[in-house]
Chain A
Amino acid sequence: MGDVMDATVEEGELKTVPRGHQIIRVIGRDPLSIFAVVIIAIFVLVAAFGPWMAPYPEQGFGRSNTDETFQPPSPTHILGTDYLGRDVLSRIIIGTRAALQAPIIVVVLAVAIGAPLGAIAGYMGGWIDELIMRVTDLFLAFPFLLLAMAIVAALGPSLNNAMIALAISWWPWYTRLVRGVTLSLREYYFVEAARAIGVPDIVIIFKHILPNCISPIMVQATIDMGTVILAMGSLAFLGMSTRPPKPDWGLMVAEGRTVILRQWWVSTFPGLAIFITVLAFNLLGDTLRDIFDPRQYR
């Protein structure tokens, strides 16, 4: 089945559905994108091997070291220590996994909610489409971070609830995207053929439509990563996500905020980690948007 679908996409007018090798070729030509990919790769490695790379892994995970509170950057503590004497570098390294994992989970959850709804709306049309899209509009009428904050407030602050809250605030974007793609896919022969031989709608939506939406979803998800990382950091900064003593970049910025004028390193370096990660994803996303702009379906 996969072959048929790829062929259809290739000969059809769906120019905007990007293919893997196309993306790689374009990124390989742009120095800024290469830079972004390298940065992201480094962070992924740190996320994977953090516990072995951190100079003081147990402090990274949260054990206090009250003999060495607020040490400035030095050879023993390259980025200094925080109010409990924990090595800031170790905490950034250990926190990398959550910093990358959480936004990915948020996007996956948002796609899991949004994409099927979009495909159903686009494929079925009529009142179902109308109903789904009006609900979507309603969620988009909230500033998404504000909605996420209200949801966390209702559920109670924790990393899991912060992820759930962001996913609930973020899914409508994927519903819109997938609906748009579905509207054009619906006109293809392979969908019409499936319908003609009596394949049930639900099977067409999940086996024929949604697999063909994967590429634009992937592109959009990459573009969105920067925003979602920033949003997760913001929630953590407010104390609505990861609970201490676990390491979380946003939380670390908040923890060092009150001592910023004297112990500047406590907040500055975790914030720098957020900034660099978000910048890398945004640079990559910018290139992808320039070529494909999946939102043009809307």
Chain B
Amino acid sequence: MRKLEFIIRRIALSLLVLLGLSVVTFTLARVVPSNPASLYLGPRARPEEIARVEEQMGLNRPLPVQYFYYLRDVLRGDWGNSIATKRPVLQEIGDRAPASLELLFVGMSLAVLIGVPLGVFSARWQGKPFDVVTRTTSIIGVSLPSFWLGLLFQIFFFRMLGVLPLTNRVDSNLRFTSPINEITGFYLFDTLVTGNWIAFQDVARHIILPALTLAAYPIGLIARMTRATMLEVLSQNYIRTARAYGIRQRIVIYAYALKNAIGPTLTVIGLTLAYSLTGTFFVEIVFNWPGLGLFTVHSLLNVDYPAIMGITLFGASAYVTINLVVELIQAWIDPRISLG
């Protein structure tokens, strides 16, 4: 029962935070700019248009009333129209989100697959050369500007080795040879379920470099956190007891210690996942990846205000949701949390 209460409380709290987020984006969209209507219309708006939009947006009404209408529109799915493309912002985001999320998912999977073992081995050989190398690697990982690392990868893997494609999600010829049947927008998944093996390979080859670039930062964070929690767990009594019983080192570490160290690591993975959402933006620019990041940059260049605020709201909501899900998963696997 306590668990259910905890879950309900967390969800309610997240809803409150989301409401707060809408206040912040509202402030940025309507209160901070001196002339929101002209921003909303873009740089080439005529005065009568501005007057019309001012009327439409209710900019002459008191702020709380304006906020109420803003919130109502956002909840109804009306996030305004993009100035550049003239299409609804929410639709633009929906079209591009799968590309970003696929990149995020593959990048984070790489980060977990590399970061967690690095952390575990580092803890096991604490102070040994492997540990020193891993710790230095993780610091390097969190110090690399992703937009620069991506460029280095391009020079190395495309120009020097010529083994991986430079940019984009798929080869432009693929459209003619074996077109992707879009079901979910997640190309790896789509090509796999439709049995489009050629396209799958092409998609996979295209995602390697962006995903690796994206993974560099989280690998550092995850390896470091796993190492710290593993060291803490390994110093506990039950581990000493297990060792005293002569249970093999491998079993002690992987079966006994890792199980208890994975909880805090999961928190970090969740946080990094949410953080890497912004990270994908920069990777997308470098690799011309048709996701939200590229859309953001074009919106920034065009001062496409509705689009920018829509992306902000979407990104922040995704962030809150990911954090909520991580907390709920944790409550599920760790019985101590709901009691706290």
**Residues of B240-261 contacting chain A, CB below 8 A:** none
Q: A266 to nearest B CB, angstroms? A: 10
* Stretch of B59-67, B201-209, B305-313 with 4 or more beta carbons under 8 angstroms from chain A: B305-313
With A230-B145, A257-B151 already in contact, the answer to whether A146 and B139 are too (CB < 8 A) is: no
A181 at the interface (CB under 8 A from B): no
- Give the number of A-B contacts (CB < 8 Å): 127
Say yes or no: A150 contacts B300, CB within 8 Å: no
**Residues of A189-230 contacting chain B, CB below 8 A:** 226, 230
With A141-B21, A143-B319 already in contact, the answer to whether A278 and B154 are too (CB < 8 A) is: no
A137 at the interface (CB under 8 A from B): yes
Interface centre among A138, A146, A153, A278 (most CB of B within 10 A): A153
* Stretch of B48-56, B92-100, B186-194, B270-278 with 4 or more beta carbons under 8 angstroms from chain A: B270-278
Say yes or no: B148 contacts A253, CB within 8 Å: yes
User: Which B residues are CB-close (under 8 A) to A274?
Assistant: 145, 148
User: Which B residues are CB-close (under 8 A) to A238?
Assistant: 282, 285, 297, 300
* Stretch of A11-19, A74-82, A89-97, A279-287 with 4 or more beta carbons under 8 angstroms from chain B: A279-287
Residue in B20, B152, B282, B309 whose CB lies within 8 Å of A141: B20
User: Which B residues are CB-close (under 8 A) to A260?
Assistant: 151, 154-155
Say yes or no: A143 contacts B145, CB within 8 Å: no
1/0 contact string of A239-265 vs chain B (CB within 8 Å): 110000000001001100100110010
**Residues of B77-91 contacting chain A, CB below 8 A:** none
Q: Which residue of B is nearest A262, CB measured?
A: B159
B286 at the interface (CB under 8 A from A): yes
A104 at the interface (CB under 8 A from B): no
User: Which B residues are CB-close (under 8 A) to A150?
Assistant: 25, 28, 308-309, 312
B43 at the interface (CB under 8 A from A): no
Q: At the interface, is chain A mostly helix, strand, loop or mixed?
A: helix
A147 at the interface (CB under 8 A from B): yes
Q: A107 to nearest B CB, angstroms? A: 17
Say yes or no: B24 contacts A271, CB within 8 Å: no
Q: At the interface, is chain B mostly helix, strand, loop or mixed?
A: helix
User: Which A residues are CB-close (under 8 A) to B277?
Assistant: 143, 146
User: Which B residues are CB-close (under 8 A) to A282?
Assistant: 139, 142-143
A171 at the interface (CB under 8 A from B): no
With A226-B143, A234-B147 already in contact, the answer to whether A143 and B274 are too (CB < 8 A) is: yes
Expressed in whole angstroms, the Cα–Cα distance for A11 and B151 within the complex equals: 53
Q: Which residue of B is nearest A279, CB measured?
A: B143
A124 at the interface (CB under 8 A from B): no
1/0 contact string of A145-158 vs chain B (CB within 8 Å): 11101110111010
User: Which B residues are CB-close (under 8 A) to A180?
Assistant: none
Say yes or no: A261 contacts B155, CB within 8 Å: yes
Say yes or no: B274 contacts A261, CB within 8 Å: no
Given contacts A233-B145, A238-B285, 14 further A-B contacts (CB under 8 A): A147-B316, A149-B308, A153-B308, A230-B143, A234-B147, A253-B145, A254-B147, A260-B151, A261-B155, A268-B152, A268-B155, A272-B148, A278-B144, A286-B135
* CB-CB nearest 3 A-B residue pairs: A271-B148, A279-B143, A150-B312
What are 22 pairs between A and B in contact, CB < 8 Å?
A: A141-B20, A141-B21, A141-B319, A142-B316, A143-B274, A143-B319, A145-B278, A146-B312, A147-B24, A149-B312, A150-B308, A151-B28, A153-B300, A153-B303, A254-B147, A257-B147, A267-B148, A268-B151, A271-B151, A271-B152, A282-B139, A286-B135
